[in-house]
Amino acid sequence: MTGRFPASADAAAGAAPSEPAGEVAAGRADLVLRGGAVLVMDAAATRAEAVAVVGGRIAAVGSSDEIDRWIGPATRVVDLAGRAVLPGINDSHLHGSWLGARWPHTFFGAADPAAAAQVAGTLVRTREERRAAILRAGRLLASSGITSYTEPGIGPGEDDGETGCFHSEVLDVYRELAASGELLQRVTLLSLYGILDGPSDLSVVRAGISSHAADAGEPGASDPAWLRVPGVKIFGDLIPLSRQAWTDRSYDDGTHGDLLVRGDTIERRAADLAEMVRAAHLAGLQVGVHATGDRTIGLVLDAIADAEAEPGAQRARDLGHVIIHGDLATPAQVRRMAELGVWLNAQAGIAAQTEEWLAGLMGADVAAEAWPFAEALAAGVLVLSSDAPVLDFDWRRGVADADARIVAGVGGGAGAREGGVGDHIAEALAAARARLHGLLRAYTAVPAAQDRAGDWKGTIEVGKVADLAVLSADPFEVGAARLPEVDVDLTVLDGRIVFERTA
């Protein structure tokens, strides 16, 4: 990758420099990271060597020589010694309170599967326990370079839920932690008016959507830089592995799955799910729909398209709706997501760990076509996340798994081309780098867009918040497959160092 340095950091950010850069800069930085690979994660794959932070914001990005002007007596200087800096990682679908209550017991890939299987029943009961779980998750995630996440599904639907982790009080605790400045990540939270992984009633969800929309401007709402509640989580269907993704394909027992909506007939359930999506869209809310089957995904995309076509309705693109999981999404549906501006939020580890299982239930062809990461990446709609504690929150493993799946899908169909062996190697290397860039963006810049916060976070550009992760090596030198071996050395949140690796 060739370096592409902006002529000046101010020019890169589009801001008009009002004073000579040297005088503005002199000695003013709170924090400078220099002498490494600063991976901006903009679409152009800009690389720099150093970054200066003032008051929680990125003040300058450039060569080490340029940035050294910002160093003064009060500046903390981190010598990168060739290490890399990424924007802080954004795990855009992660259950923070549940993770904090369960860790290290994940559902897939657990270090101790027997112990993980033992975890059952209520995990948190009191406000104090909920607070402790969120803070614990925050520390774990900070140690992984994660500075933002989406907590997908907290609310009254789960006030009697088994684990206690999705109870309405969890939102109160998040608000409290946002107000006291104790959050170690910026949190986007989706309200849940139905129940988690269970059937919901249209009337209940619709009432929840109305109350949510009415509350949006409530006094005492949190600082949106730290906690936003922009919309709702809706369960469309369950998962293919339990034969409950609603699909045009067939499971091994001849069934096609179902929707997770109450109603006597499939037509009723389908109409009610569409109405939930419509109501949320027309209320101006972002909707994250748990949708794994192709029929469910198609229904949700139709509902979104219909809603935005109504007079006076906002564009789907401006609300940032999300298909969550999308296991059986077809290539045509992925293209439609791109047309509508709907994100596909997927977990590469689920594909890596369950493809064989899915092949047993639906056939090897279906399993090979499932989880269309290559299509989604090419279409610009792919957002990667961990769904922790379903998987662990290792985004490096997520990048490696997504890359492996894309590479496996490419197969040998590239065909013969002009040019020598050297050209082919160069081409393959360039493709691998472009893929890695895209997958790293799917954990940084793209989820910032999912959060509708792409103008102030997600890349290392002047004026954006200083949320950064320092890695022990440059991912582009290591490659996607070996990225899990790279350490997170330092995590910076809002200009503050919130994690520093000691060993």
Sheet arrangement for strand 47-48: 47-48, 37-39, 84-87, 468-471, 488-493, 496-500
Does 158 engage in binding with Zn ion (CB under 5 A)? no
- Least distance from C-beta 186 to Zn ion, angstroms? 19
Q: Are 163 and 222 in contact (CB under 8 A)?
A: no
C-beta of 95 vs 228, nearer to Zn ion: 95
- Least distance from C-beta 93 to Zn ion, angstroms? 6
C-beta of 93 vs 437, nearer to Zn ion: 93
Per CB under 5 A, contacts with Zn ion among 100-129 are none
Which residues, other chains included, contact 412 with Cβ-Cβ below 8 Å and sequence gap of 6+?
Answer: none
- Least distance from C-beta 326 to Zn ion, angstroms? 13
- Nearest to residue 232, comparing CAs of 178, 278, 165, 298? 278
Q: Using CB under 5 A, which of 30, 129, 308, 387 touches Zn ion?
A: 387
Half-sphere exposure in the Cβ direction for 38 (13 Å, CA): 29
* Candidate ranges 37-45, 54-62, 66-74, 386-394; the one touching Zn ion (CB under 5 A): 386-394
- Least distance from C-beta 418 to Zn ion, angstroms? 47
Per CB under 5 A, contacts with Zn ion among 414-443 are none
C-beta of 393 vs 499, nearer to Zn ion: 393
Length of the chain as a residue count:
503
- Least distance from C-beta 153 to Zn ion, angstroms? 7
Q: Are 292 and 249 in contact (CB under 8 A)?
A: no
C-beta of 388 vs 436, nearer to Zn ion: 388
C-beta of 49 vs 387, nearer to Zn ion: 387
- Least distance from C-beta 290 to Zn ion, angstroms? 7
* Candidate ranges 257-265, 313-321, 358-366, 385-393; the one touching Zn ion (CB under 5 A): 385-393
- The long-range contacts involving 162-165, CB below 8 angstroms and separated by at least 24 positions, are 162/121, 162/122, 163/98, 163/101, 163/121, 163/122, 163/123, 163/124, 164/101, 164/122, 164/123, 164/124, 164/125, 164/129, 164/130, 165/95, 165/97, 165/98, 165/101, 165/123, 165/124, 165/130, 165/133
x/- map, 338-377, Zn ion, by CB under 5 A:
----------------------------------------
Report how far residue 318's alpha carbon sits from residue 198's, in angstroms, rounded to the nearest whole number.
29
C-beta of 51 vs 390, nearer to Zn ion: 390
C-beta of 273 vs 289, nearer to Zn ion: 289
- Least distance from C-beta 152 to Zn ion, angstroms? 6
- Least distance from C-beta 106 to Zn ion, angstroms? 12
* Candidate ranges 307-315, 356-364, 380-388, 494-502; the one touching Zn ion (CB under 5 A): 380-388
Helices (DSSP H) in 26-87: which residue ranges? 64-68
* Candidate ranges 99-107, 137-145, 357-365, 387-395; the one touching Zn ion (CB under 5 A): 387-395
- Nearest to residue 193, comparing CAs of 182, 181, 201? 201
If binding means CB under 5 A, how many residues of this protein chain bind Zn ion?
1
C-beta of 192 vs 227, nearer to Zn ion: 192
Count Cβ atoms below 10 Å from residue 173 Cβ, excluding itself.
Answer: 22
Phi, psi of 156 (to 5 degrees): -60, -25
Which residues, other chains included, contact 401 with Cβ-Cβ below 8 Å and sequence gap of 6+?
Answer: 348, 349, 351, 352
C-beta of 386 vs 444, nearer to Zn ion: 386
- Least distance from C-beta 201 to Zn ion, angstroms? 21
The sign of the dihedral angle between the CA atoms of 87, 93, 98, 103 is negative
* Candidate ranges 102-110, 162-170, 384-392, 429-437; the one touching Zn ion (CB under 5 A): 384-392
- Least distance from C-beta 121 to Zn ion, angstroms? 19
Q: Which residues bind Zn ion (CB under 5 A)?
A: 387
